[in-house]
A and B are shown apart, each in its own frame.
Chain A
Amino acid sequence: MKRLLVALGCVLSLSIAAYAAPEAAKAPEATPAVAAQAPAAAAAPAVDAAKVAAPAAESKATLKANPKVTIPIFLIIIAATMSVVVWSAKQTKSAADFYTAGGGITGTQNGWAIAGDYMSAASFLGISGMISLYGYDGFMYSVGWLVAYITVLLIVAEPCRNAGKYTLGDILSFRTSPKPVRAVAAISTVSVSTFYLTAQMVGAGKLMQLLLGINYTIAIVGVGILMVGYVVFGGMTATTWVQIIKAGLLMTGAFILSVMVAIKSGFSPFQFFTDIATNQNIIDHVKLLPIYLKEVDAGTATADAGQRFLEPGLFLTNPLDQISLGMALVLGTAGMPHILMRFFTVPTAQEARKSVIVAMFIIGSFYILTTLLGFGAAVHLSPQGIKQVDAGGNMAAMMLAKTMGSEFSPFIGDLLLAFLCAVAFATILAVVSGLVLAASAAIAHDIYVNVIKDGHADQHEQVMAARITSFCVGAVGILIGIAAEKQNVAHLVALAFAVASSGNLPVVVMSLFWKKFNTAGVVAGLVVGTIASIGLVMVSPNMTYPDRVADNAKAAYTKLEAEIAAGLVAPAAMEKTLKTIEAKKAEEAKNRGGKSMLGLSKPLFNLKNPGIVSIPLGFIAAILATLAFPCRRAEEMWDEIYVRQNTGLGMAKAIDH
């Protein structure tokens, strides 16, 4: 216990050092280059960072949090979560305590934790930003994230609670050969978690850099140390409470800001929409959007450009990609190992059901509030102003907090901004902790205990293995996060959902609902689904194709040159325009003739979301392999798993074990 406390002390002081660093170093204002990087917080699957990134020259404004207000709030959150960790470390004695909080979480608590696990900084900052720049499409985009929970509720939550124990591998290996199935399930869990974790870590680093002006590496290390601290010492209990605290903070922040926005329109939705559609800044912004210009050329543009902001198609232009993303969300959420794992923390199927319903109300309300924030930011800050701070719009909610609060007093503005920064910080911590826990459960429980030790490991050894694995997973997460700073990680979230929907979900559903399903089916489904998703993303437009970058740069400067030739550029803006042209020419020269990671000069597969192809492939592979290699034992055990998952009989064993 003493050792534990000392370690906690180290973690706490290190993290304080990490967050005090900017003040001590009197970090200079974030440079324009930093502000221009669209943070991966927008790692929302359909957000193409490259597409929305404006030339660096345009990003001048910055948004800085006041460290005197921000650092105390951060410290309060760190202290609160750390005391939760100390408390839960005392309770974590067995493997069940570590992985599932001993099954002692209530439905309502678990509902908040699911919401906390799921609503990432990408949804909070990315979606409100997307709405503030592209209006309706951002709102439409957010819908799938809630609808996904219908699949979780109806198909997987209760059967998983009844049939599983700690991990995805437990469900899949029930009536199959445990070793190969657990090994493949663990690989799939670890890859999904790693993709998602990398996107989150890079987003965290960029976000902290942008908001607080701290060095990227320090930010990642700080977040990483806290994350490892929560998981290693507190296991599932601490992770759950960190997620509950985060969900509470996030909802509070979103609610306060939404009320402030609503007051501006006198709480009238009609007034609010009129404010949006008649806002001169929004009208000017829409008139310059490429899609609108195309519509003008085609003669289909509406004269009411403000109203156009409330109509679809300003951002999400490829319907097939949208449908593909929708499939990945609707099926992938239910295959996400860190979400599945949450259902093992409640004692009964009824509580599992209740927790999904609670989570759905929280998540749904959150996305509706996000709409208010996004549109409110567009009206009160102007899309042009938002773009100046961050080309991808990721700072919209933060800027809104500062502006709205400052109307009362500058201090309230700082306070509100600091609070939202802290919310974003807590959000990142909660999501990454859940992912680290899921990945280490797969390695420690499936690979170490069940494959290497044949299930013969006592409680002490199991908990030890889980803690060491979490430490290693967390450390690797930090290293990947640092290494991936300059990488384009926007596609990694899409990839995580694609793998979960094409690899995990088909085999989970068939394990629970198909009598003949067997070892060959699980292995084939997981392997084919995973490889197909990764392979398709590797040859998709998500990757950087230098030749394409060069083409875009050429198109941009050609257009500007044409504008100069036509005398459309004001003399005052001439110098800036010429500079932009020069920069674009340099960009073209640098990228021309280059190849993508796989040596391609253009994508082979034209969708950013592979789901529409990879999900059917995953299902077909699982079905064909099952039929090709029938297994009597799997069929004989069908009655058992089917009765168990429907009734919960025999589940006591799973909990007490």
Chain B
Amino acid sequence: MAEKTYDWASIAKNPKFIELHHKKTAFLFGWWIFSTIYYFLLPIGAAYAPGLFKIQILGRINFGYIFALSQFFVSWGLAMYYAHVANKDFDRLTRELVNELQ
């Protein structure tokens, strides 16, 4: 158990950590709120704007169907985008910070 002990308080004050923390918080909560709002538009819209959901857009495929289907693609898109940003930015900042500490 040769455990390296860290001075957590000083890491927390490290500018790299503060940068990582700010970027991550803004990204994660911002996009989480976006996806949640986008999702709740579905049950709310289906209940309170049925007229909109009935509009036929492609042949007999209506807006409601496309909107529900879009939820899947928006979720996947957001997941891919997050993976991209995390791999590029967050992981890089974390690596730099960890290297600096060792």
Contact = CB atoms under 8 A, between A and B. Distances in A.
> Are A and B a genuine interacting pair, yes or no?
yes
A319 interface: yes
Contacts of A146: 71-72, 75
Contacts of B1: 653, 656
Nearest to B69: A368
Interface string A266-277: 000110011011
Contacts of B42: 140, 143
A158 B56 CA distance: 42
Interface in B7-22: 8-9, 11-12, 17, 20-21
Contact of A149 (B3, B54, B59, B75): B75
Interface size class of A (residues with CB under 8 A): 35 or more
A647 interface: yes
Interface residues of B, number: 54
Contact of B44 (A153, A269, A319, A647): A319
Contacts of A143: 39, 42, 68, 71-72
B62 A310 contact: yes
A356 B79 contact: yes
Interface stretch (A74-82, A254-262, A322-330): A322-330
B17 A144 contact: no
Majority secondary structure, B binding face: helix
Given A150-B32, A311-B54, A639-B12, A270 B94 contact: no
A245 interface: no
B68 to A, nearest CB: 5
B59 A647 contact: no
Contacts of A302: 54
A593 interface: no
A18 B71 CA distance: 43
Interface string A331-357: 000000000000000000010011011
Interface string B20-33: 11001000110110
Nearest to A644: B8
Contacts of B97: 647
Interface string A607-624: 000000000000000000
Nearest to B71: A143
A648 B87 CA distance: 15
28 contacts: A140-B64, A143-B68, A144-B39, A150-B32, A150-B78, A153-B79, A273-B60, A310-B61, A311-B53, A312-B46, A316-B43, A316-B46, A330-B39, A353-B82, A357-B79, A357-B80, A360-B75, A361-B76, A364-B75, A364-B76, A368-B69, A640-B6, A642-B12, A646-B17, A646-B21, A647-B97, A649-B98, A650-B6
10 closest pairs, A vs B, by CB? A319-B47, A312-B46, A640-B8, A322-B43, A639-B12, A270-B59, A273-B60, A639-B8, A147-B39, A150-B35
